Amino acid sequence: MFHRFSRLPVAATLAPLLLATAAQAESFSACFARLRDDAGSAGVARASFDKLTATLSPDLSVIKLLDDQPEFKTPIWDYMAALVDAERVADGQARMAQWQESLQAAESRYGVDPATVVAVWGVESDFGRSFGKRPLLTSLGTLSCFGRRQAYFRGEFFSLLKLIEQGDLRVDGPAGADGLVGSWAGAFGHTQFMPSTYQRLAVDFDGDGRRDLVGSVPDALGSTANFLAKAGWKRGQPWGFEVKLPEGFDAALAGRRNKRPLADWVARGVRTVDGRSLSAKAGEGADAAGVLLPAGVKGPAFLVFGNFDAIYGYNAAESYALAIAHLADRLRGGGPLLTAWPTPDPGLSRAERRELQTLLTARGHAIGEIDGMLGAASRKAIQAEQQRLGLAVDGRAGQKLLGLLRAAPVSVMPAKAGIQKD
C-alpha cells in the first residue's frame, strides 16, 4: 500500500545503492541533526533515535524511484492476469483453510469475510513471500532528507521509529535494523502497510502483546480486516459483480463515484451476467452502486457498491481494487470474468511469464532469474524478439508472443545469467 505513488506489483525494481557525494552526505547529517531535534515532539525518545540511526547513510536510488515516471504502463488485462492467476487462487484457498480460525475471528470482530482479507494478503505480499528488499530506515531516512515529499516521509520515518521503540517491531535479529525491509517507499510486512497506517490501524490479533505485521500472520489478517472496517466496509454486503450493459449504454454514466439506486440501473437495462435479477444478486440492504468500466464499454463491466470503495481505500487505484475483489470471488469458488478484455492479445499468468522468460533465456537473452516478473531486462529481450518477428516493438508480452516463441523453440545454449537482473 502506498497511496498515490503507484507501486507496480509485477516488477519490484532493486536499483543498485547510489552512494551520496560528499556534499550530499553532509546535507544528510545536517538533516539528521534537525530530525534529532524534532524526534521528541514526534514522540520518539532521543536515545532510541540515536541508537537506531547511528550508522544510517543515505541511499539516493530511492529518490530516483520517487521521481521516476513509469516508462511502461501496464494494461489492465496484464495486471489482472498476473495478480489473479490459478496459482494465486490455489495458494489463497490453501491459506484460507490454514488460517481459518484467525479469519473467522477477524470476520466476527470486523465484519470482513475471509476471502476478502486473504485476497488483500495475496496481492500485497503474495501471502508473505515478498515483503520488499530495502532496509526501511535507510529508505525512509533518505526520503526524509532529499526529494519532493520530505515532510510526508518524515512522518513515516518517525512512525517507524516509534513502532520499534514500542516493541511492535523487533530489530534484534542478526541484521539489526537492516533486517527490517520493505518497498522503496516504506510499505512493509504481510499487508504492506506504511508505518503511519501501521501505527493507526494494526492490531495484536494473536494476543502476544505486540502488533507484528512482519512475523505474525494472525496480526496481519486482523489488521487488514480492521483497515477495511475503518474504511467503511459493511458486513454481509457484496463488493459488486460483473454485469452486462445494454446496447448504446451511455459511458458518461459510468464511474465508481457516480452511484445510483439499483432500480435506476435496472431501468437503464443493466443486467447480471447469470440471468438473476440485479436486486436478488445484490442482496438485502445493498445501497447505491456505480458502473465500473476498467477498459471502456467494450470490456467487462461491473456494478460496484460501497465495499468496493473500502478496498480502494487500501491503495487508491481501481485496477488494484478490482484485482482484490475478483480474487476474493475466485477464492470463494467463483469463475473467471465472462466478458473478455478488449484485446486480441490477452495477458500472461505468472506461470506463463516464467515460461516466457525460460524461452527468452533459451534464445540467449540475459534476463537473470526466472521469477515471473517482467522487469527492464525481460522487456529488453521481449523487444529484441518482437523486432526479429516483425511485431510492434513495445516491450509488452502477451499470449501472442508466448505462442510464437513456443512454436519455434531454439537450441541455443542459454546465456550466462546474472548481470542484467530485472
Nearer Cβ to Ca ion, position 219 or 318? 219
Nearer Cβ to Ca ion, position 141 or 195? 195
Cα 322 to Cα 297: distance, rounded to the nearest angstrom = 16
* C-alpha cell, 251: 459511458
In the bound complex, what is the minimum distance in angstroms from residue 201's beta carbon to Ca ion? Answer: 14
* Local structure of 193: helix, strand or coil: strand
Cα 18 to Cα 25: distance, rounded to the nearest angstrom = 12
What residue ranges bind Ca ion (CB under 5 A)? 204, 206, 208, 210, 212, 216, 219
In the bound complex, what is the minimum distance in angstroms from residue 168's beta carbon to Ca ion? Answer: 8
In the bound complex, what is the minimum distance in angstroms from residue 389's beta carbon to Ca ion? Answer: 53
Nearer Cβ to Ca ion, position 59 or 206? 206
In the bound complex, what is the minimum distance in angstroms from residue 164's beta carbon to Ca ion? Answer: 15
Across 158-225, the runs of DSSP E, i.e. the strands, are 181-182
Cα 244 to Cα 273: distance, rounded to the nearest angstrom = 6
Cα 383 to Cα 394: distance, rounded to the nearest angstrom = 6
Nearest residue to Ca ion, scored by beta-carbon proximity: 204
**HSE (side-chain half, CA atoms, 13 Å) at 347:** 20
Nearer Cβ to Ca ion, position 214 or 401? 214
Nearer Cβ to Ca ion, position 169 or 323? 169
CA distances from 157 to 20, 163, 260 (A): 20, 10, 42
Cα 186 to chain centroid distance, Å, stands at 13
Nearer Cβ to Ca ion, position 101 or 284? 101
**Long-range own/partner contacts, residues 228-232 (CB < 8 A, 24 or more apart):** 228/110, 228/112, 228/116, 228/117, 228/120, 228/310, 228/311, 228/313, 228/314, 229/110, 229/111, 229/112, 230/201, 231/309, 231/310, 231/311, 231/313, 231/314, 232/306, 232/307, 232/309, 232/310, 232/313
In the bound complex, what is the minimum distance in angstroms from residue 169's beta carbon to Ca ion? Answer: 11
In the bound complex, what is the minimum distance in angstroms from residue 217's beta carbon to Ca ion? Answer: 10
Element (H, E) at 241: strand 240-244
In the bound complex, what is the minimum distance in angstroms from residue 230's beta carbon to Ca ion? Answer: 19
In the bound complex, what is the minimum distance in angstroms from residue 98's beta carbon to Ca ion? Answer: 18
Nearer Cβ to Ca ion, position 116 or 216? 216
User: Which residues are CB-neighbours of 121 under 8 A, at least 6 positions away?
Assistant: 92, 95, 127, 128, 190, 191, 220, 221, 224
Nearer Cβ to Ca ion, position 91 or 219? 219
